[in-house]
Structure 1
């Protein structure tokens, strides 16, 4: 199992890696994404699995008859955020293949079909919406909505898919495929340090915090940076900066997290007072009430700052995901299969498993990340912990698919 994991990890590691940052730029329907998809197909065919590319661009590798139904599915995604780490997503896909290798080594007999999957465009780095592949499959994103998505260069999602050789005409909810699946288990590197602090290599997910994204548009007046008196300015950068600080303050008070991680400025000149500062807020909290209180307080503060500086403000909620409780029966079954002593923990990060939980039973395993860092090249999991994760996933799949 160790050699299987190491070989796959080494083969995948160079794809989409930026030499300057050391991070990954595996964006949906780009050359790096194509190479990742080719790697997945090669690994599937090397194991004699039946390979499929579904209507929404997700990859599947089947052991057994897909039409038999009640299949057990495992996997994750291979795309990345800009300059992301090596583990977020790929660890789950590589571990899925390695777990299958381990089960074959054990000589187990499968009584349910097994599928390994790579969901497309999970991070949303190119088109601005996370979990596009699983959202389409689950019916949480319509064909019309998907067609309206565009990247920073104005390229639409269907145009990008066509350029990569995939026909986007049949995008949409995939009831036939969903009807085949009895359970989906996703392994993922932990995006935090709970396991490191508890001393455990592997954990089980309890729930995904409610979370959303809001766009704050501060509109002022463009003017000359050198000739406009300070008292005559309507500078939208000032209330934006104060709002960033308010977000940190309000999140701390509510036990939540709030981040302004993306900004667009017009006209974006060094010697020009901006006419528009557009910032995107990402906020997450343990409960819906905590999240609502946090965002409401941030918006209230932003409007006060905008008024003080003579700036207009529009706030638009671009996405929202309520709290997602993974199915308790499946979650408890994972605990039983792993001996009952595995910690159960919540997460503030979204996942394909969370999207799919609305239509099929889902569960998640986490592998320890000693840095606690994610979406960064500093993201890490030790090889021993990765192997422990593969073994845990193999134990779970054996219990679910080999009864």
Structure 2
């Protein structure tokens, strides 16, 4: 039996706030791309589930009288006011998922953005700047192996040539997938004119960790995103018969890979970082065959660049020693990397001021770092960006068990509305 659909329960704090309440939106979105066996979500870029999510976003924009734009990279923008006026305040997140991911990672930010707009309209807020809600495409990178494709393309962090080389497990390229979904892949590329419209981007996200649970706060503000990257380790040995080849005669890449996985755990522990081999591909992948190739993907993150370099160099050094010992050839390729992101201090401090009062300990807003990457981090080099986090009581993420409580979701919507009002209604 699949797990029950994770969703907040009804709360008076969000009733009657606009064309569709938070809970109504959550219910509508909740069934899209949900796998009946795992209870998790499979909303991968440029698939049917992705198209359904995009339709949902369009319907929410139209229900609120917002002007919908689709940019050259497939990102969706819903505008209130004239985008060309500049100094716009933008909020939003993404709707795609990791394989069998949870309901909150990404969608909470998009749903909360529309709900915050409803809340502000209910307050009678007068906007003095354009406001937009955005859905960035392919943030998780589940299909093409690179995170934040939509925002990377827009910010010029991913070249057109690099984007055209991205392929999924079936050999379909990103342009082919976009074209099959009805989009023109010839338009993809940097979008500096659009980003120049933005005066501030604020992304709300469920926390992927337990920092807020440990402090007892429903909402926090991001201080920085740890540097992080993905590396591919290709161990090449010799295919042979599993039943007739002596152990001493084998060149088995699986042994080198297995030892490298353990080395990653040791190196990460020593440096106070994290390192994970979470994806593997084996050839020829037969039960009775010694592999000829074991390809594993490393994800590693640390609080600073020096620690991350120490971890990755230590893992690669150990992997090469293991490969040499087993007669295996090793290639290591860095597939993506994002340096440390310090969110703009002036915007961060303004948000903390808007959400808290110096004379009230009950309204303090913690500032915390995170090891998870986000579109806000990608945009930070081009646009003033900030993030709000909503408490996750278990810290579990990228799993169907991901969760945020009803009251904390309400607090997140209220906090985002307060921030948008302070930034866009001056």
TM-score, normalised on structure 2? 0.94
CA offset digits 1:171-203 (Å, max 9, x no partner) = 111121111110000000000000001100000
What's 1:84 paired with? Answer: 101
Residues 1:346 and 2:346 aligned together = no
What's 2:186 paired with? Answer: 169
What's 2:14 paired with? Answer: 2
What's 1:65 paired with? Answer: 82
What's 1:199 paired with? Answer: 216
What's 1:254 paired with? Answer: 271
Aligned-pair CA distance for 1:290: 0.1
What's 2:343 paired with? Answer: 326
CA offset digits 1:251-302 (Å, max 9, x no partner) = 0000000000011111110000011111111000000000000011111111
Q: How many Å separate the matches in 2 of 1:120 and 1:6?
A: 23
Aligned-pair CA distance for 1:395: 0.3
Residues 1:133 and 2:156 aligned together = no
User: Unpaired runs of 5+ in structure 2?
Assistant: 1-12, 16-20, 358-363
* Structure 2 residue matching 1:102: 3-state secondary structure: helix
Residues 1:108 and 2:108 aligned together = no
Aligned-pair CA distance for 1:147: 1.2
Q: How many Å separate the matches in 2 of 1:144 and 1:315?
A: 21
CA offset digits 1:16-69 (Å, max 9, x no partner) = 000000000000111000000000000000001111111110001100111110
**Aligned positions, number:** 403
Aligned-pair CA distance for 1:369: 0.4
CA offset digits 1:203-240 (Å, max 9, x no partner) = 00000000111111111111100001111111111111
Residues 1:212 and 2:190 aligned together = no
What's 1:185 paired with? Answer: 202
Residues 1:147 and 2:170 aligned together = no
Q: How many Å separate the matches in 1 of 2:85 and 2:65?
A: 18
Aligned-pair CA distance for 1:95: 0.2
* Structure 2 residue matching 1:36: 3-state secondary structure: helix
* Structure 2 residue matching 1:217: 3-state secondary structure: strand
Q: How many Å separate the matches in 1 of 2:297 and 2:60?
A: 38
TM-score, normalised on structure 1? 0.99
Q: How many Å separate the matches in 1 of 2:379 and 2:23?
A: 29
Q: How many Å separate the matches in 2 of 1:211 and 1:385?
A: 28
Aligned-pair CA distance for 1:105: 0.5
Q: How many Å separate the matches in 1 of 2:212 and 2:48?
A: 35
What's 2:327 paired with? Answer: 310
Q: How many Å separate the matches in 1 of 2:303 and 2:36?
A: 38
Residues 1:232 and 2:249 aligned together = yes
Aligned-pair CA distance for 1:13: 0.1
* Structure 1 residue matching 2:223: 3-state secondary structure: strand
Aligned-pair CA distance for 1:348: 0.5
Q: How many Å separate the matches in 2 of 1:165 and 1:213?
A: 30
What's 1:297 paired with? Answer: 314
